[in-house]
Chain A
Amino acid sequence: MLRYTVRRLGQLVIVAVVLSILLFGWLRALPGGPVSALLGERATEESRAQLVEQLGLNQPLHVQYWKFVQRAVTGDFGVSTGVQPGTPAMEVFLQRMPATLELSVLALLLAVVVGVPLGYFAGRRQGGWLDNLSITWSLIGVAVPVFFLAFLLKYVFAIELGALPASGRQEVSIDATHATGFYVLDGMLTGEWDAAWNAFLHLLLPAAALSTIPFAVIFRITRASVLDVLEEDFVRTARSKGLGARVIRGRHVLRNAMLPVVTTIGLQTGALLSGAVLTEQVFNITGIGQALSLGFQRQDYAVLQVVILATAMVYVLVNLVVDLTYAAIDPRLRER
């Protein structure tokens, strides 16, 4: 198990190196560039040349890359030129990461907490009204674009009904201490429960919008998996032992049905991170999704590099955790 983990972490390094090279090339192949983005179209040739010199963009690509790597291993990913000019890119990422993480975790939690039980009961009563309703709902969830749903939720619940906040992460009037940057967690740690609750309410609508696709996928996989497991001989064995419904459901059906679902959850982190870009725009959340779209608009190489690389690392790490969880559930995989 340890050797497996080490090997997977080694793969992580390879992914990082290959992705950084591709990313470096891709970004610089985009038309425009940070200089035009910073100085605008009417800048003089001299000021342009000066900035190009300053940013080191006049050097050959491989020299630039090598310098980038040398600084990156010390944790220095350069300075933001567009998103928050003058701030180190790593700092931009670290400041914004908690908001996105908070949002994604809540969205994933919603998707799992609703999707798994619904999938189980829909599978148990295949063809029943709950089954049909949930299938329709999950189809709509996948089919409706995230940004449209986000606007719809915002319009109905925030603007028309006024039940939930329309944008931001927390009421500005609340003078909350932000120790970790995770606003809900901050409030809970410092005992500022009103601040935590307020931040949580701000998360609800964006998380609901963001959770629809992961929900739909998790629900469908759970349902199909439960249907398969219910047909298994060992479920019949469990019934023949007269076990209570709870033990049969938890120990015998769900535990086996969860195997494919766990894998799916790992893959859904990708959908969450890409969905966050749109959701953060709609709800004006200063997370990495927003940094990404701003970064592309303003051609902020440093921020884009650190955000995309870090996001990819998170994706790989989450899937490593998923695979380890898989082995924890299924003893047949432990002997590798």
Chain B
Amino acid sequence: MALLQVRDLSVRFVRKQEPTVSAVDGVSFDVQAGRTVGLVGESGCGKSVTSLAIMGLLPGRGTEVSGSVRLDGDELLRLPRRELDRRRGRDMSMVFQDPLTSLNPVVPIGVQISEVMERHRGMSRRVARGEAAKLLERVGIPDPGRRLKEYSHQLSGGMRQRALIAMALACEPRVLVADEPTTALDVTIQAQILNLLRELVAETGTALIMITHDLGVVAGTCDEVNVLYAGRIVESAERHELFAGPRHPYTAGLMASVPRLDTPRGNRLAPISGSVEDNIPWEDGCAFSPRCSRALPRCSERTPEIEPIEAGRWLRCHNPIEEHARNTERPHD
């Protein structure tokens, strides 16, 4: 059985006097130890909400979470808060998107790292401080002894993200959730952080869930990819398979909207028109159909189910791109 098993995960935000929003709907995927699984999609597709639901970090009031998240067979969603806190930070941990706001501004970095080890590994403050220095060194922060005493505002953006990663790794978690870990960083630092995460997965055998909107990040890190649209997985495949031939028009659209070096000069990018917020409901047909160039009449009548199309590959589409015709969807190829 997979290390982390997400089944039929749904998150609904229920607000008084406002229509209920279904942010995540029936999401299922597995994560094996030592593998990196990507959750990809544009803003508002539910990828961050999925990761917060897995970590149990969604606000309690006004949020309905259903389905199942099993870590090593243990159901996390129905765990009492105390039990969950015994596992969060130890068996699973999270790296957040914005390292500046995700670090406490008035607590030294060292304390923020060692508190995890004091909590879960029963270390004394002194021992934990020593371990924290080793962790900082491992994530590539020079002069860790000095950095431990510093505060987040004294660190550069890249260092802050490294410190957050050190914090997440403090108890050698078996599952690491990285929610857009490089979005707030500049490009050279992005590459360093991604390399660091790749190395850590290879060294420790941690399962990594990589949440991103950036297909470049996916291509560089993920083994498997789940493409989300409006809260549902629309396509799921091994990374190579997916990049070799996207079958869902949305996946193809995402790829077409990424600039490439071999695109002839002067060619315009091909964005997908419209935005995901306009199309939340899946009740009457495919939520992507209003934006889809391949939409058929039945796309807006009957909601497509997610179905296996070959080993390790799933698709939710009435009119998928044919395998031989894959590349015709790319306007500039």
Contacts and interface: CB of A to CB of B under 8 A. Distances in A.
A240 B115 contact: no
Interface in B107-165: 107-108, 111, 115-116, 119-120, 151, 153-154, 164
Interface string A235-260: 01111111110010001100110010
Interface in B79-103: 84-90, 93-94, 96, 98, 101-103
Nearest to A255: B106
Of A236, A241, A251, A255, most B-chain CB atoms within 10 Å: A241
Of B84, B104, B120, B153, most A-chain CB atoms within 10 Å: B104
A232 interface: yes
Given A243-B89, A331-B153, A332-B153, A237 B103 contact: yes
A194 interface: no
Interface string A254-270: 01100100000000000
Contact of A234 (B84, B89, B101, B116): B101
A247 B119 contact: yes
Contacts of A317: none
Given A251-B115, A331-B151, A240 B89 contact: yes
Contacts of B86: 242
Contact of A332 (B84, B88, B105): B105
B256 interface: no
B93 A240 contact: yes
B187 interface: no
B119 A241 contact: yes
Interface size class for chain B? 20 to 34
A234 B102 CA distance: 4
A331 B55 CA distance: 30
Contacts of A239: 57, 88
A126 B277 CA distance: 29
B106 A329 contact: yes
B60 to A, nearest CB: 11
B104 A236 contact: no
B167 interface: yes
A228 interface: no
A232 B90 CA distance: 22
Interface in B12-59: 55, 57
Contacts of B55: 240
Interface size class for chain A? 20 to 34
Contacts of A240: 55, 57, 88-89, 93-94, 96
A243 B115 contact: yes
A256 B104 contact: yes
B156 to A, nearest CB: 16
A332 B154 CA distance: 9
Interface string A180-214: 00000000000000000000000000000000000
Contacts of A234: 101-105
Nearest to B177: A240
Main secondary structure of the interface of A (DSSP, over half): helix
A242 B93 CA distance: 9
A330 interface: yes
A326 to B, nearest CB: 11
B157 to A, nearest CB: 15
A80 B95 CA distance: 69
Of A233, A244, A251, A252, most B-chain CB atoms within 10 Å: A233
Given A252-B107, A255-B107, A241 B115 contact: yes
A236 B96 contact: yes
B87 A233 contact: no
Of B87, B88, B98, B111, most A-chain CB atoms within 10 Å: B88
A234 B153 CA distance: 13
A266 to B, nearest CB: 18
A86 B118 CA distance: 66
A259 B111 CA distance: 20
B101 A232 contact: yes
Contact of B164 (A237, A243, A244, A251): A237
A242 B88 contact: yes
A237 B96 contact: yes
Contacts of A330: 105-106
Contacts of A259: 106
Contacts of A243: 85, 89, 115-116, 119
B102 A236 contact: yes
Interface of A: 232-234, 236-244, 247, 251-252, 255-256, 259, 329-332
Given A234-B103, A240-B94, A242-B119, 15 more contacts: A233-B101, A234-B104, A234-B105, A236-B96, A237-B103, A241-B89, A242-B116, A244-B85, A251-B104, A251-B107, A251-B111, A252-B107, A255-B106, A331-B108, A332-B105
Query: 3 closest pairs, A vs B, by CB?
Result: A242-B88, A242-B89, A241-B89
24 contacts: A233-B102, A234-B104, A234-B105, A239-B57, A239-B88, A240-B55, A240-B93, A240-B96, A241-B119, A242-B86, A242-B120, A244-B85, A247-B115, A247-B119, A251-B111, A251-B115, A255-B107, A256-B105, A330-B105, A330-B106, A331-B108, A332-B105, A332-B151, A332-B153
